[in-house]
Amino acid sequence: DAYDLNASSFDGQFDLVWLDGISTDERFAGLFKTYWELIKDGGYAAVHSTLTNNLSKAWLSKVHAEKKAEEATCVARFEVKPWDGDADLSLLKDKVRGHDLDNLAQVTWLERSLVEEVGYGIKKLILFARIDEAAGASAEVVADYLSETFEEEIQSVDVELGDDADAGASWGNFSVFGFLEPHKTRQNSFSLFQKRGLTYAEPSYSWTP
């Protein structure tokens, strides 16, 4: 049973994952994302019965909707440096994430966070957020707002754009193709997903131009 497998027990990454006969199970969405993260850039995931089964079609439509929503936003990485080397970064993280950002409702804090050494006993807190710039939000505006709001606790907030890998369980960049199997009467289709990272490029197999 695919749902009983421990995906974390596999070493390395997959070139191809084929998922057949299970896309109608309500647990499938979680299973697919688990194995999607284990597929290397340029690798493939094939899912059967995605175009001719109503439940699978609904799942595929949701994947496209989530991907479209991701493309309308960017991931920002905020490096939060406290004044005090003894600062409770866990408490500071909760305060920042839980603070009402006034009119900056287009900011969604992500679960992922890091703590990195700065020097002289001081550590910085790394937070990640998805920013909807199309709705008027700006990572720089958020950084300035946090610096002013928590000026007694925060020395500075530096910001840079991250990527989909920083967002955790994100779809990232991919292409998908749908295929029909006319020789079959029922369940006669499948979708092929190709995972493409930010630096992915189609390989060349010929020495000629």
Query: For residue 145, is pLDDT > 80?
Result: yes
pLDDT in the model for residue 93: 92
| Terminal Cα-to-Cα distance of the chain (whole angstroms) | 47
Q: Which residue has the tokens 């009983």?
A: 4
Q: How is residue 36 annotated by DSSP?
A: H
Q: How is residue 79 annotated by DSSP?
A: E
Confidence of residue 163 (pLDDT cuts 50, 70, 90): low
Query: For residue 194, is pLDDT > 90?
Result: yes
Tell me the average pLDDT across 118-144. 81
Name the burial class of residue 67, with classes exposed (0-12), middle (13-18) and buried (19+) by CB atoms within 10 angstroms of its CB: middle
Query: For residue 186, is pLDDT > 80?
Result: no
Compute the distance between CA of residue 2 and CA of residue 102 in angstroms, rounded to an integer: 45
pLDDT in the model for residue 23: 64
Closest Cα to residue 32, out of 68, 2, 57?
Answer: 2
Query: For residue 192, is pLDDT > 90?
Result: yes
Tell me the average pLDDT across 67-92. 85
Helix (H, G, I), strand (E, B) or coil at 126: strand
Could you tell me which residue, 77 or 105, shows the higher pLDDT? 77
Q: Which of 68-72, 108-112, 142-146, 168-172 has the lowest mean pLDDT?
A: 168-172
Confidence of residue 134 (pLDDT cuts 50, 70, 90): low
pLDDT in the model for residue 158: 92
Name the burial class of residue 23, with classes exposed (0-12), middle (13-18) and buried (19+) by CB atoms within 10 angstroms of its CB: buried
Confidence of residue 46 (pLDDT cuts 50, 70, 90): very high
